[in-house]
């Protein structure tokens, strides 16, 4: 509604005239740029003035709804009841930074989701307040700030629930950086002995994948321990008792196992390249056979070892020293024995079918090797 009036007297007089002319209770006067007039002396000739009943200034040349979204939303205060704790914020805080989030959809339009309110008028949200607080602060200022004692994983779960995508990335990085660095340092003899003493004798010891590289484990009782895929490279295992231990796919390269007890040991597909196994005992009186099928035994020194009935099927023993070994009844089918020193060995009843004996030394064997036992 537009009216042309003469301006005179005081500001109160102007408001009174405007109230009569426009049929409203005018309380404020603005200039054409939205500036609040608090002194009539500020009014110039031909000024276009706007009067209102107390509501914020809205430029009539702009869309009223758009203006409300731009200015009014910042003063549209809301109270949220999150898990019994109250948070006061503005609608724009919940909407503007993450417009595609669940919170934005919940509060973009009044009652768009039919949000339930408690007796105090606060909007009810059934989530954890301690995890919601960092999310609300992030929407306020764009910084991830989490107080001590707050689990970042909990905040991450809430961020995913509310669909705060930009915060999710920040949290994932923060969680990754907060994790302690993985300790890949080898386990020492002292640490392992302490572990052995603290474990009940009837409990199964599992050391799969552990790093013992270079450790001195000599003369220890390691019976029945599961060392599957463990790193035992360059270890000193001389005179250790490894009866029935599981060394499947373990790395024993360069290790010393001289005079170790290896009765019934499982070393399938293990890597013992360059290891020393002189004088080891693989022979179990009860008939339990050691299994080294598929093992890498290149260049090992097994001189004088007792290996009756041992399973070395498809193992690689290229350039190995097996001088004076007892291989009676051993399974050597498909084994690579190229350039292997088998002098003085007992190979009675051994199965050498399909094995590669190119360049192998058989001089002074206790039991003659029959040609029918080898096909290569």
pLDDT digits (tens, 9 = 90+) for 17-69: 888 877 788 888 777 666 677 777 767 766 777 877 766 666 655 544 444 44
Chain centroid to Cα 305, Å, comes to: 46
Please give the domain boundaries of the chain with CATH numbers for all domains.
1-61 (no CATH), 77-178 (3.30.710.10), 188-375 (2.160.20.80)
Indicate the pairing of strand 50-52 with strand 28-30: antiparallel
Write down the mean pLDDT value for the chain: 85
Sheet order of strands, 85-90 included:
85-90, 77-82, 123-125
Residue 22 vs residues 3, 53, 264, 272, 365: alpha-carbon distances, Å: 8, 11, 106, 100, 125
Category of 147 on φ-ψ map: left (φ > 0), alpha (ψ -120 to 50) or beta? beta
Task: Specify the pLDDT at position 3.
Answer: 62
- Residue 220: which residues within 8 A CB-CB, separation 6 or more? 192, 193, 196, 240, 241
Judge whether 343 and 363 are in contact, CB under 8 Å. yes
Beta strands in 166-238 (DSSP E): none
From the number of C-beta atoms within 10 Å of its C-beta (0-12, 13-18, 19+), residue 71 rates as middle
5: nearest Cα among 34, 40, 35, 54: 40
The segments of the chain whose pLDDT lies below 50 read 63-74, 366, 370-375
Q: How many other CB atoms are there within 10 angstroms of residue 38's CB atom? A: 9
Instruction: Characterize 314-328 residue by residue with b for buried, 16 or more Cβ atoms within 10 angstroms of its Cβ, and e for exposed.
Output: bbbbbbbbbbbbbbb
- For residue 18, give both structure tokens: 């405007």
**What 3-state DSSP class applies to 191?**
helix
- Residue 329: which residues within 8 A CB-CB, separation 6 or more? 308, 309, 348, 349, 350
**What 3-state DSSP class applies to 85?**
strand
Distance CA 117, CA 129 (A): 17
User: What is the DSSP track for 285-296?
Assistant: TTSPPPB-TT-B
Distance CA 63, CA 70 (A): 11
175: nearest Cα among 147, 149, 148, 155: 155
Q: What's the predicted TM-score (pTM) here?
A: 0.52
Task: Specify the pLDDT at position 51.
Answer: 78
pLDDT tens track for 260-287: 999 999 999 999 999 999 999 998 888 8
362: nearest Cα among 332, 340, 336: 340
Indicate the pairing of strand 77-82 with strand 28-30: unpaired
Residue 214 vs residues 60, 190, 234, 237, 259: alpha-carbon distances, Å: 83, 13, 5, 10, 18
Distance CA 80, CA 94 (A): 11
């Amino acid at each position: 509604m537009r009216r042309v009036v003469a301006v005179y007297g005081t500001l109160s007089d102007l408001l009174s005239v405007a109230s009569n002319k426009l049929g409203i209770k005018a309380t404020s006067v603005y200039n054409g740029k939205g500036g609040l007039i608090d002194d009539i002396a500020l009014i110039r000739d031909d000024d276009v003035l706007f009067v209102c009943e107390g509501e914020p200034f809205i430029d009539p040349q702009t869309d009223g709804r758009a203006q409300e979204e731009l200015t009014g939303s910042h003063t549209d205060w809301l109270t949220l009841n999150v898990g019994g704790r109250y948070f006061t914020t503005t609608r724009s805080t919940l909407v503007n930074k993450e417009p595609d989030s669940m919170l934005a959809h919940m509060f973009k339009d009044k009652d768009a989701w039919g949000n339930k309110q408690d007796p105090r008028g606060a909007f009810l949200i059934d989530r954890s307040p301690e995890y919601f607080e960092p999310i609300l602060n992030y929407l306020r200022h764009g910084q991830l700030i989490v107080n001590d004692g707050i689990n970042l994983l909990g905040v991450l779960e809430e961020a995913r629930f509310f669909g705060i995508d930009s915060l999710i990335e920040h949290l994932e990085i923060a969680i990754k950086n907060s994790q302690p660095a993985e300790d890949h340092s080898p386990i020492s003899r002292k640490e392992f002995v302490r572990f052995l003493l603290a474990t009940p004798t009837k409990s199964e010891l599992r050391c799969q994948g552990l790093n013992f590289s270079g450790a001195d484990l000599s003369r220890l009782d390691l019976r029945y321990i599961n060392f599957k895929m463990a790193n035992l490279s360059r270890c000193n295992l001389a005179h250790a008792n490894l009866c029935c231990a599981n060394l499947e796919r373990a790395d024993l390269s360069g290790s010393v196992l001289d005079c170790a007890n290896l009765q019934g040991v499982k070393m399938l597909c293990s890597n013992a390249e360059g290891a020393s196994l002189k004088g080891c005992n693989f022979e179990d009186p009860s008939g339990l056979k050691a299994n080294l099928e598929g093992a890498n035994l290149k260049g090992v020194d097994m001189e004088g070892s007792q290996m009756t009935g041992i399973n070395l099927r498809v193992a690689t023993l290229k350039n190995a020293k097996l001088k004076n070994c007892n291989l009676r009844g051993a399974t050597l089918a498909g084994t690579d024995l190229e350039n292997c020193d088998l002098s003085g060995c007992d190979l009675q009843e051994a199965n050498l079918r399909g094995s590669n004996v190119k360049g192998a030394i058989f001089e002074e064997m206790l039991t003659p090797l029959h040609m029918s036992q080898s096909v290569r």
